[in-house]
Structure 1
Amino acid sequence: MQKELDICDQSILITGGTGSFGKAFVRSVLDHCPKIKRLVVYSRDELKQFEMAQEFPPHLYPALRFFIGDVRDKERLYRAMEGIDTVVHAAALKQVPAAEYNPFEFIKTNVLGAQNVIDACLDHDVRRVVALSTDKAAAPINLYGATKLCSDKLFIAANNFKGTRDLRFSVVRYGNVMGSRGSVFPFFKEKAKTGVIPITHPEMTRFNISLHDGVEMVLWALEKALGGEIFVPKIPSYRITDVAKAIAPECKLEIVGIRPGEKIHEEMITFSDSPNTVDLGEYYAILSGSQPEKRTAYINEHGAKPIAADFSYDSGTNPDFLSVAQLQELAQTV
């Protein structure tokens, strides 16, 4: 059985560290590991780094470092990776409509940037890497989802040429993060001031996960991953119309039509993924088809169970839906 990783004994770098997930991840790590060796926030926005440094002052958090850089800049990534044991890759361009109109900008960050991270990890004795993905990477119909699927494939394939290094690349894929920048909860709260809530499609559904649960999943993956898997959480769905009712029941709903590249329902595991997917209890793991031995390893180490050959996991057929009352409670926390 593999020896689990002790996060508190690591030097960790997180790309996109000043984003919603990054800040939550940093707080969780510092809370759980006050004597961590080093925690490096790698991002390109100096103002956000300055603001984050006020929240985490250096005299209280001496292990925290801020490193200005872009994942597009390979040389800068190489400098930042010196002495790093663990990498969480959260940097990405994420807005679906923007990707449709600026496709190569998304490719440069989400695809070429991902390969830069992989190369830097391979050349700097990094031991564990977890990359954040999205439900939009499953059977993508938009450019953003396509770039993230490509990124996922790059990280999974990196396990094939790591050589004898003690290095494991894995991916965490989940749905919309409640309350994160650009998410529907704060958007609807702002629109409620106008008395009208724009609804793209009356049947639209989405997966929902909290920042806390997203962070916990990444920490779990860092400790448990064997390398080469895409982890998917079992999380609830919501109807967009129910979110509107929960946040602004008195407002008028205006159907405005879906935006370029949007789906009515989001997928996280497709029919095509099912032969390589196992059930870990709290999570699913999509295993690499090129490494069938991983299925046996997961069954032995995690008590994993194979799933049905016709299984798929999407927000529309998900058996677990949040009620309007539950959404009202969640909205108060955003």
Structure 2
Amino acid sequence: MKDLQSILVTGGTGSFGKAFIRTVLARHPDIKRLVVFSRDELKQFEMAQEFSPERYPGLRYFLGDVRDEARLSRALEGIDTVVHAAALKQVPAAEYNPFEFIKTNVLGAQNVIDACLNNDVKRVVALSTDKAAAPINLYGATKLCSDKLFTAANNIKGWRDLRFSVVRYGNVMGSRGSVIPFFLEKRKTGVLPITHGDMTRFNITLQEGVDMVLWALENAHGGEIFVPKIPSYRILDVAAAIGPDCRHEVLGIRPGEKIHEEMITSSDSFYTVDLGDYYAILSPTGALGVEAYCERFGGTPVEPGYAYNSGANPEFLSVEQLRALVREHIDPDFAV
């Protein structure tokens, strides 16, 4: 972040936002300007108890909603870097309230893009999800639309020194509403609800997600969807790790849910580059094709037809590894 002096984080009071703010302040306590942009005044008040503007003079809390472009544009005055983490993300809620998700996740994304184009912003990284790859639910479809908006925004930046890119990763361990905190609470009842015994998911820690976004801010050419190489877990292994003595209650797949998640589809393979720790899915309409991108930034094109799937992932977390991660990232006193 050597060239970045002012950052705004949409959805800054969420799980990712707080971890990102914590990391930036730890590494750059004298940052010129760091803005938490979110719509919940209570969460901003609570967050300010840990991260106060008195302790960090560059830190500011800005109430606003990504649905409001004028408010976004005002908040972006003097900002050179934007991390877009604001989203509605609960799959069942999206199926029941589709247009609310469209207004935040799609129209809100375009508002962020327009506000960045209208201010002197230089770098933009938007957060995505594995559910945006070959989506079967409304939430994933809105995030795919968002991804396309951000990658295509590089085509209309004109003369601006501005780069839009996306990071796409799997379930964040310990984030609000995710399965592990849910199981930790449910094990008190002696029963763990299981949607489907074959279900798998990708797994990434909050800090790994933060570090990936910081890497993308430094390294993005513009137009990429970056995907990390991360392990998977089996839902039954999560249940065994957290509640080995609990009874399982099989509920069936929820509306819009997959057995396995993809982050790179076989159709994406023709535009995908292996960068080592990450993949980059290039925009089909971008200025650089796969060969030119590899020449400039290194990396290797993936095989045609390659797909990155949580069920076929070569790396799975064991029960003991899951327990260790729970103790490290969620509950230090966790025991079975």
TM-score scaled by structure 1?
A: 0.97
Distance in 2, matches of 1:15 and 1:58, equals: 18
Question: Unmatched 5+ residue regions in structure 1?
Answer: none
Equivalent position of 2:334 in the other structure? none
Does residue 209 in structure 1 map to residue 204 in structure 2? yes
The Cα offsets for residues 35-72 of structure 1, whole Å up to 9 and x where unpaired, read as 11100000000000001100012221111000000000
The Cα offsets for residues 181-208 of structure 1, whole Å up to 9 and x where unpaired, read as 0011100000001100000000000000
Alignment counterpart, residue 2 of structure 2, candidates 6, 9, 25: 6
Equivalent position of 1:111 in the other structure? 106
Aligned length: 329
2:259 counterpart SS class: coil
Supply the AA of the counterpart residue of 1:71.
Answer: V
Distance in 2, matches of 1:79 and 1:16, equals: 16
The Cα offsets for residues 58-108 of structure 1, whole Å up to 9 and x where unpaired, read as 221111000000000111101101010000000000000000000000000
1:298 Cα deviation after fit: 3.2
Supply the AA of the counterpart residue of 1:111.
Answer: V
Equivalent position of 1:147 in the other structure? 142
Alignment of 1:53-202 (within 5 A): 53-202=48-197
Supply the AA of the counterpart residue of 1:173.
Answer: R
Distance in 2, matches of 1:264 and 1:180, equals: 20
Equivalent position of 2:288 in the other structure? 293
1:293 counterpart SS class: coil
2:31 counterpart SS class: coil
1:292 Cα deviation after fit: 5.9
1:330 Cα deviation after fit: 1.0
The Cα offsets for residues 91-137 of structure 1, whole Å up to 9 and x where unpaired, read as 00000000000000000000000000000000001000000000000
1:294 Cα deviation after fit: 4.4
Distance in 1, matches of 2:116 and 2:128, equals: 18
The Cα offsets for residues 268-326 of structure 1, whole Å up to 9 and x where unpaired, read as 00000000000000000000111262434432343210000020001000000000110
Alignment of 1:308-319 (within 5 A): 308-319=303-314
8 Å Cα contact 2:155-2:286 kept in structure 1: no
Supply the AA of the counterpart residue of 2:250.
Answer: I
Does residue 24 in structure 1 map to residue 22 in structure 2? no
Equivalent position of 1:265 in the other structure? 260
1:10 Cα deviation after fit: 1.6
Equivalent position of 2:219 in the other structure? 224
8 Å Cα contact 2:131-2:262 kept in structure 1: yes
Supply the AA of the counterpart residue of 1:65.
Answer: R
Supply the AA of the counterpart residue of 2:114.
Answer: D
Supply the AA of the counterpart residue of 1:13.
Answer: L
Equivalent position of 2:324 in the other structure? 329
Does residue 50 in structure 1 map to residue 64 in structure 2? no
Distance in 2, matches of 1:146 and 1:223, equals: 28
2:201 counterpart SS class: strand
Q: Tell me the C-alpha RMSD between the 2 structures.
A: 1.0
